[in-house]
Amino acid sequence: MERAFWVQSPGEGEIRAVPLRDPGPGEVLVRTLFSGVSRGTETLVFRGGVPASQHDVMRAPFQEGDFPGPVKYGYLNVGVVQNGELQGKTVFCLYPHQTAYVVPASAVTLVPDDVPPGRAILAGTVETAVNAVWDARPRLGDRIAVIGAGMVGCSVAKLLSGFPATRVQLVDVDPKQKEVADALGVDFTTPEDALGDCDLVVHASATEAGLAKALDLLAPEGEVVELSWYGDRRVSVPLGENFHSRRLTIRSSQVGTVARPDRDYAQRLGVALELLADPAFEALVNAECAFDDLPSILPRLAANELSARCLRVMYQPQ
């Protein structure tokens, strides 16, 4: 028997024993090395905050159960294939927190040799950032702000900072986030000191204040790319005053849809894994726990008692 983490009911998690069938033709057995907790989405799921209207949209590829629970949810998993042509290969898969699992071989992506397995759990997050940059369509010389120094915001700022002649600032209310910005090689500021007249603002703070600041920082004809997902919370958007006279735009970016028609999901994920060869991304993982501790750690994450951009979950080798 293997073991998996389940949200039993909102605010309560448990580890369950799960049977594991033998892999069939075209399938692989993967033993997990690391998984990652995507804090924003997974704590929202843990709290039971997925709106009923979004239950189908929010399903993870290998989710079991239904919202609000019991549900087995997660999508940042790195392990080693135990059988077939890929035996011994390290792979990334959109699988929940489980010690081992069987999936179609097409569901796993090889981790490049120059990407450590413990960093490869960020592939799903960096893939979201890749899609956001494709949606944002930055131009040479743009003035850009990224609001929210969580996993996604930091990843987007890192990618955007590589565009020639751009001015990129990572904006967050917590001055301590300057440390991760410095590690990523990105300029940091708090909202009150953020530079305005931006051509583009990427909003990833999931707060009303952050969205209002994003609009405030825009130059005329500027655009906000909204990455935040608010779950069942209603959000007020300041569309009065000079929103119309400055001809501002708010555009959503949705990870479930590939922003470029000439790229599919596998290609997008491949780009993300190539980017993770940069050791700077290691700064996004700032907490670790053992798999067995997830039932006690998730409530602390959901209550903001534990600060973690990405929580790396470690599994004992077998």
- Residue 149 is part of a domain; what is its CATH number? 3.40.50.720
Residue written as token pair 């039932």: 295
Q: Are residues 161 and 218 in the same domain?
A: yes
Q: 90: Cβ–Cβ under 8 A, 6 or more apart, which residues? A: 33, 78, 79, 80, 110, 111, 117, 120
DSSP state of 21: P
Residue pLDDT, tens place only, 122-174:
999 999 999 999 999 999 999 999 999 999 999 999 999 999 989 999 999 99
Q: For all residues of the chain together, what is the average pLDDT?
A: 93
CA distance 277 to 281: 8
CA distance 63 to 75: 9
Q: What is the pLDDT of residue 262?
A: 76
Q: What is the pLDDT of residue 38?
A: 82
Reference 259, options 122, 128, 152; nearest CA is 128
Residue written as token pair 């750690």: 297
3-class SS of residue 309:
coil
**Inside any domain, residue 258:** no
DSSP letter string, 69-114: SSEE----EEEEE-SGGGTT-EEEE---SBSEEEEEGGGEEEPPTT
Reference 94, options 59, 45, 133; nearest CA is 59
Q: Are residues 108 and 202 in the same domain?
A: no
What's the angle, vertex CA 58, arms to CA 211 and CA 39, rounded to 5?
Answer: 60
Q: Are residues 26 and 108 in the same domain?
A: yes
Q: Which tokens sit at 184? A: 């990523």
Q: What is the pLDDT of residue 261?
A: 76
What CATH number is attached to the domain comprising 9? 3.90.180.10
Q: Are residues 178 and 219 in the same domain?
A: yes
**Which amino acid appears at position 281 of this protein?**
F
Residue pLDDT, tens place only, 35-91:
999 887 899 899 998 888 889 988 999 999 999 999 999 999 999 999 988 999 999
Q: Which tokens sit at 185? A: 């090689």
Domain that holds residue 53: 2-122+276-314
Q: Are residues 137 and 163 in the same domain?
A: yes
